[in-house]
Structures are given as structure tokens and as C-alpha cells.
A and B are shown apart, each in its own frame.
Chain A
């Protein structure tokens, strides 16, 4: 998801196999565990986050969404229709203490989604953002 040429090949292959793509669901991502395995019980400050870990999360969760959408959108525009759904998380998770870099990566995906939608206005290609949040199971 982080490599432009790899994403291009994957999208080419998907389009070849399916004929066309009606809808993209940008869902791939990695979480806080990659930089802090105990993030739920032992929050760490942003200054303690390894740079490589920060970059990996941003490149996967944000750049990855951009790369796949960038590759697929021209095909949807040519077809005159398409749907893109970007999966993100609740605002409370985006802004939670100890959640660098996951929170910023998802905040970035929200901003990206809103701009994508604005850029694609009146084209037949729409962009929706799904902010997931945990909730108690029904009794």
C-alpha cells in the first residue's frame, strides 16, 4: 500500500480481472500496536514514538489511501461513475492522548476524503467517509 508502482500493478490486475471497478473501499491500515504494543494500558508521548514507526503508519493509513484512489479515480472518471469509501475512526480516537501516529493518520484520511469529494463534485464519482467507533454490544 505504500509503494506507488506496487499499487499501480495491483489496481491494473484488479481491473483486468473484474473488467472495471465500481467501488473502492480504502480500508487497509496498521495501528498503534506497531509503535507501542501496550498502547491501551501504557500510553506513550509523541516524543517517544520512533520516527520509522510514525512514517510507517502515515504511509500506510494516509498515503496508501491516496495512492489507491489516485490510481483508480481516472478510470472511474472515464466511466462517468464510481464510488469511493474511505474507512477511518471516530474523532475521539483521532485526538486521544498517546495515539500518535494512528490518530493523525486517520485525521489526515478524513481531510483527504473531504478534499477528494470536493475535487470530484459533479463528476459522477462520489467519496464517502466512514468513521468507525466502538460501542457496547446490545444486552
Chain B
């Protein structure tokens, strides 16, 4: 499960058409946007 989808599940949200802002990544810095 992609990290954004996993986090959405933890927060009790449906992952359909969810707009998620995820900070960090492999570099540890910066902003990334993902649609879970």
C-alpha cells in the first residue's frame, strides 16, 4: 500500500479521490503531492 494510502487508512479516510500533502521523501526534505 502506498504511504499516502496507508496514512489515509490510519486517519480513517476513504482513499478515493483524496488530496494528500505529504512532506519528505527519500531526500527527507521538501514537499510532494500525492493523490491516494
Given A14-B33, A18-B33, does the pair A28, B23 have CB atoms closer than 8 Å? yes
Q: How large is the interface on B (under 10, 10 to 19, 20 to 34, 35 or more residues)?
A: 20 to 34
Q: Which residues of A contact B18 (CB under 8 A)?
A: 22-23
B22 contacts A27, C-beta separation under 8 Å: yes
A25 contacts B22, C-beta separation under 8 Å: yes
Q: What's the dominant secondary structure at chain B's contact region?
A: mixed
> Closest A-chain residue to B11, C-beta based?
A83
A26 contacts B23, C-beta separation under 8 Å: yes
Give Cα A84–Cα B8 distance, bound, in whole angstroms: 9
- Tell me the minimal C-beta distance from A50 to chain B in angstroms: 18
- Tell me the minimal C-beta distance from A9 to chain B in angstroms: 10
In the assembled complex, A64 has its CB within 8 A of some CB on chain B: yes
Interface size for A (C-beta < 8 A) is 30
Q: Which residues of B contact A17 (CB under 8 A)?
A: 33
Q: Which residues of B contact A83 (CB under 8 A)?
A: 8, 11-13
> Closest B-chain residue to A127, C-beta based?
B11
> Closest B-chain residue to A83, C-beta based?
B11
Q: Which residues of A contact B29 (CB under 8 A)?
A: 1, 28, 30, 60
A128 contacts B28, C-beta separation under 8 Å: no
- Tell me the minimal C-beta distance from B24 to chain A in angstroms: 3
Q: Point out residues on A near B: beta carbons under 8 Å.
A: 1, 10-11, 14, 17-31, 60, 64, 68, 72, 83-85, 87, 126, 128, 130
Name 5 interchain pairs, CB-CB below 8 A, sorted by A.
A1-B29, A1-B30, A24-B22, A28-B23, A126-B11
Q: Point out residues on B near A: beta carbons under 8 Å.
A: 3-4, 7-8, 10-13, 18-25, 28-31, 33, 35-36
